[in-house]
Chains A and B, each alone.
Chain A
Amino acid sequence: MKITIESPLPGEEDEIIIKMAELDDEVLKVIRRLKDGVSKDTMAVYANESILMVPIRDILYFDATDNRVFAYTRDNCFETRKKLFEIEELLANSSFLRISKNAIVNIKSIDHLSPEFNGRFIASLKNGEDIIISRGYVPELKKKLGIGK
Chain B
Amino acid sequence: MRAFLSEFLKWFLIINTGIMVIVWINIFKYDTIWTAIIPQIFGASFLTSLVTAAYFSYNPRKPISVPVRILLTIAHYLILCVIIMTLGTRFNWFELTLQGGLAVTLSVAGVYIISAVISYMLSKGEADEMTDALKKYKEED
Residues of A100-147 contacting chain B, CB below 8 A: 100, 102, 107-108, 110, 112-122, 130-132, 134-136, 138, 141-142, 144-147
Are B69 and A119 touching (Cβ within 8 A)? Answer: no
Q: A141-B130, A145-B130, A147-B129 are in contact. Are A115 and B137 (CB under 8 A)?
A: no
Are A119 and B7 touching (Cβ within 8 A)? Answer: yes
Report the interface size for chain B: residues with CB under 8 A from the other chain: 31
State the CA gap A112–B3 with chains docked (Å).
Answer: 24
Are B123 and A132 touching (Cβ within 8 A)? Answer: no
Are A112 and B131 touching (Cβ within 8 A)? Answer: yes
Are B62 and A119 touching (Cβ within 8 A)? Answer: no
**How far, in Å, is B12 (CB) from chain A's closest CB?**
14
B126's partner among A115, A117, A118, A132 (CB-CB below 8 A) is A115
Are A116 and B124 touching (Cβ within 8 A)? Answer: no
- One of B43-51, B53-61, B101-109 at the interface: B53-61
Q: Is B127 close to A, CB under 8 A? A: yes
Are B3 and A115 touching (Cβ within 8 A)? Answer: no
Are B130 and A146 touching (Cβ within 8 A)? Answer: no
Are B123 and A107 touching (Cβ within 8 A)? Answer: no
Q: Is B113 close to A, CB under 8 A? A: no
Q: A108-B138, A108-B141, A145-B133 are in contact. Are A114 and B7 (CB under 8 A)?
A: no
Instruction: Tell me what chain A mostly uses at the interface: helix, strand, loop, or mixed.
Output: mixed
Q: Is B134 close to A, CB under 8 A? A: yes
Are A115 and B131 touching (Cβ within 8 A)? Answer: no
Determine which residue in A110, A119, A130 has the highest number of CB atoms from chain B within 10 A of its CB, and name it.
A119
Are A113 and B134 touching (Cβ within 8 A)? Answer: yes
**How far, in Å, is B15 (CB) from chain A's closest CB?**
14
Q: Is B64 close to A, CB under 8 A? A: yes
Are B134 and A110 touching (Cβ within 8 A)? Answer: yes
State the CA gap A148–B111 with chains docked (Å).
Answer: 31
Q: Could you say which residues of chain A place their CB within 8 Å of the CB of B136?
A: 145-146
State the CA gap A119–B58 with chains docked (Å).
Answer: 11
Are B69 and A117 touching (Cβ within 8 A)? Answer: yes
**How far, in Å, is A36 (CB) from chain B's closest CB?**
24
Residues on A facing B (Cβ under 8 Å): 95, 100, 102, 107-108, 110, 112-122, 130-132, 134-136, 138, 141-142, 144-147
Given contacts A112-B134, A119-B119, A147-B133, could you give 6 more A-B pairs where the C-beta distance is less than 8 Å?
A: A115-B126, A116-B64, A118-B58, A119-B7, A138-B126, A145-B130
Residues on B facing A (Cβ under 8 Å): 3, 7, 10, 55-64, 69, 72-73, 119-120, 123-124, 126-127, 129-131, 133-134, 136-138, 141
